Homo-oligomer: A and B are copies of this chain.
Amino acid sequence: MSEKNNVLREKYDVIVIGAGHAGCEAALAAARLGQETIMFTVSVDSIALMPCNPNIGGSSKGHLVRELDALGGEMGVNIDKTFIQSKMLNRSKGPAVHSLRAQADKQEYTRQMRRTLENTDHLTIRQAEVSELIVENRVLKGVKTVSGAEYYGKAAVLATGVYLRARCIYGNVSNPTGPNGLQAATHLTDSLIKNGIKMYRFKTGTPARVDKRSIDFSKMEEQLGDEKIIPFSFMTDPESIQRDQVSCWLTYTNEETHKIIRDNLDRSPLFSGFIEGTGPRYCPSIEDKVVKFADKNRHQVFIEPEGEYTNEMYLGGMSSSLPEDVQYAMYRTVPGLEKVKIVRNAYAIEYDCIDARQLYPTLEFREIEGLYSGGQFNGSSGYEEAAAQGLMAGINAARKVKGLEGIVLDRSQAYIGVLIDDLVTKESHEPYRMMTSRAEYRLLLRQDNADLRLTEIGHEIGLIGKERYQSVLKKKEEIEKEIFRLEHTTVGGTEKVQAFLERQNSTLLKNGITMAELIKRPELSYEILEEIDPGRPVLSDAVKEQVDINLKYEGYIKRQKSQVRQFKKLEGKKLPSFMNYYDIKGLRKEAMQKLDQLKPVNIGQASRISGVSPADISVLLVYLEQMRGIRRS
């Protein structure tokens, strides 16, 4: 530190701007990788804040958290410390869509995350608004704060979330603040634009928080947690987190609700054009839903506690920016909410973010070396999406400082790969949300096998210790061994076996069959077969689950694995950044433009650009072959 010329000057390795879910993961990753890291936040009290829904995980988002955990991220550990209800969703469906979701005690969630951050070596937390990037010759050198202080670093991660020039809106009330009345960051956008970064303006919304004492729960359906709680983190001992759980509640809107909304649409800032930002299609406001799904006569409303010791309840599914009186009127038409008292109004928030196609898949800006970004700033929505990107941006920023190549997970390795590839490749005009349907290989990318898929990578990166890595290797070995055993254990039609099968309503055996084949029968499972499998070793539940899934879905899994091999071939064909697409004969005009604009890193990415056709890809492949031929000769 020095104070020459009346400003503070400090030096770090990695600078993280933002302490939301993205910023926290980025800063923890960089610091844990040994980089001196400083994390800026407009307010220390907003660290790991959950400004919207009070839960972590859920469909496909649960996958992200599991993957993040396997790579050495913090979100899973933190929610395991602070959840008040936990549930594995979609249990009745196939394992690809099972998703863990936990209600959080919001205050406790931020408190525990802050505690972890505060006690991480190499990590400095600084409350200050970053106002400028310091960039020289397209290389990031540091940042300035509003006080003029200069912080130099070899890499930086932008994770400004919903705070840049934020505006909170309901009816005709507009406040120039971030969520929860926290100070917005008003200066940085200008500096980003000056550095050639193209900005978007998105919006998202949140429902009202209401007083529990004003709700009639007898008119609602109680939503209980799981009997046996499954942790998010692969490191958490399930026994250590079994607890009494808090309930959520389900109720529905009705025609009266919808009529009130329709009658007041002219007063909605969303439809009047007062809100300029684009909202998320997959987390629509209730007024959006009523307009877009005009034929639906009801929508679900989930009543979720904001914490264990507060009376504030979240009205999941009813986010809105309608005027306050309309909010009151519409909420009070919902069964159980007839006398509801609002504590905090629903509102929409508008903020500056970027078109993430300005980034490499490492999340580094193509045009500014050493500058990375993650989270809502990249045009995504959701805590888990933010955390996942933050982790990757933090890892890659740290690797940059160490002179190592960036880590990119591809679409066959992780939902995180799908998420980031979508963001940096596809045009999007609304906040991006993760969904299982976005993953091509979702039978491979299950939440239950995230550790088997990614712990090794986390270990190579340096965020996963040896012990944890070895326990995963051991688990892998046990699974393989047991599958091998089952594939080589033949069962014959003995009396005992036939009686067993009859009891299970399963076809009787005519010939000998392997245990593995039996498991594939829909009505049977690894667990059920125990009775007729005397040679079975003692295995953990986690191993048993993998054995079962891998054998049961073997056919599908094999097919997806062969598709992945195809996919990997295209991903392996690198496209140098100096390619001049306008010189390549045979490419269509649109393809030339799109390819030139995005500069894909490989043929795989090129093939996913909208406006680039399979024919264009063939042309590119031929061109690459020719180039290689030329270089060889």
A residues sitting closer than 8 Å to B (CB atoms) are 1, 3, 6-8, 42-45, 107, 111, 114-115, 118-119, 124-128, 146-149, 170-171, 173, 175, 177, 180-183, 209, 211, 267, 309-312, 323-326, 328-329, 341-345
**Other-chain residue from B180, B310, B311, B345 in contact with A43 (beta carbon distance below 8 A):** B180
Q: Count chain B CB atoms within 10 A of each CB in A7, A181, A209, A345 and give the residue with the most.
A: A181
Residues of B contacting A45 in the complex (Cβ-Cβ under 8 angstroms) = 45, 180-181
Contact assessment for A125 and B6 in the assembled complex, using a CB-CB cutoff below 8 Å: no
Closest to A129 in B: B175
Across the interface, name the chain B residue whose C-beta is closest to A307: B111
Could you show 10 A-B contacts with beta carbons less than 8 Å apart?
A1-B328, A3-B329, A8-B328, A43-B181, A107-B107, A114-B310, A118-B211, A127-B344, A146-B175, A181-B182
Contact of A343 among B3, B119, B126 (CB under 8 A): B126
Alpha-carbon separation in the docked complex, A482 to B128 (Å): 61
Provide the residues of chain B in CB contact with A342, threshold 8 Å.
126
A177 touching B183 in the complex, CB below 8 Å, given contacts A325-B6, A343-B127? yes
Contacts of A267 in B (CB 8 A): 6
- Chain B residues in 8 Å Cβ range of A42: 181
Task: Give the distance in Å from the alpha carbon of A614 to the alpha carbon of B325 in the complex.
Answer: 59
Residues of B within 8 A of A114 (CB): 310
Establish whether residues B3 and A310, one from each chain, have CB atoms under 8 Å apart when the complex forms.
no
Partner of A128, one of B6, B177, B329, B345: B345
Query: Contact check: which of B182, B211, B323, B324 meets A182 at CB < 8 Å?
Result: B182
Residue of B nearest to A108 (CB): B111
Task: Give, as a whole number of angstroms, the nearest-CB distance from A52 to chain B.
Answer: 15
How many subunits of this chain does the assembly comprise? 2
Cα distance A181–B178 when bound, in Å? 10
Task: Known A-B contacts: A7-B324, A118-B311, A146-B173. Give 13 more (CB < 8 A).
Answer: A3-B328, A6-B267, A42-B181, A43-B181, A44-B312, A44-B343, A45-B180, A107-B107, A115-B309, A125-B211, A125-B343, A127-B181, A181-B183
Tell me, in angstroms, the Cα distance from A309 to B116 when the chains sit together: 10
Closest to A112 in B: B309
B3 pairs with A127, CB closer than 8 A: no
Q: In the bound complex, do residue A183 and residue B173 qualify as a contact, i.e. CB atoms below 8 Å apart?
A: no
Using known A-B contacts A309-B115, A329-B3, determine if residue A324 contacts B127 with beta carbons closer than 8 Å: no
| With A149-B325, A183-B177 as contacts: A310 and B125 at CB distance below 8 Å | no
Evaluate contact between B8 and A324: CB separation under 8 angstroms. yes
Q: Which residue of the partner chain B has the closest CB to A344?
A: B127
Distance between A181 CB and nearest chain B CB, rounded to angstroms = 4
Q: Knowing A8-B325, A111-B107, A125-B343, say if A171 contacts B147 (CB, 8 Å).
A: yes
In the complex, what distance in Å separates the CA atom of A125 from the CA atom of B342?
9
- Structural contact, A3 and B325, CB atoms closer than 8 A: yes
Chain B residue contacts of A148, Cβ below 8 A? 324
What are the 7 closest A-B residue pairs judged by CB atoms, nearest first?
A: A181-B183, A3-B325, A43-B181, A127-B344, A118-B311, A147-B324, A8-B325
What is the distance, in angstroms, from A238's C-beta to the closest C-beta of chain B?
25
Contact B44 A149 (CB under 8 A): no
**A344 CB contacts on chain B under 8 angstroms:** 44, 127
- Whole-angstrom distance between the Cβ of A289 and the nearest chain B Cβ: 22
* CB closest chain-B residue, reference A146: B173
Which chain B positions have C-beta within 8 A of A211? 118, 124-125
Task: Determine the distance from Cα of A43 to Cα of B312 in the docked complex, in whole angstroms.
Answer: 13
Min CB gap A241→B, angstroms: 20
Chain B positions within 8 Å of A310 at CB level: 114-115, 118
- Contacts A44-B344, A325-B3 hold; do A311 and B119 have CB atoms under 8 A apart? yes
Measured CB to CB, the closest approach of chain B to A11, in angstroms, equals 13
Q: Across the interface, which residues of B come within 8 angstroms of A146, CB to CB?
A: 173, 175
Chain B nearest CB from A338 CB (Å) reads 11
- Taking CB atoms, residues of chain B closer than 8 Å to A124 are 211, 341
Contacts of A323 in B (CB 8 A): 6, 147
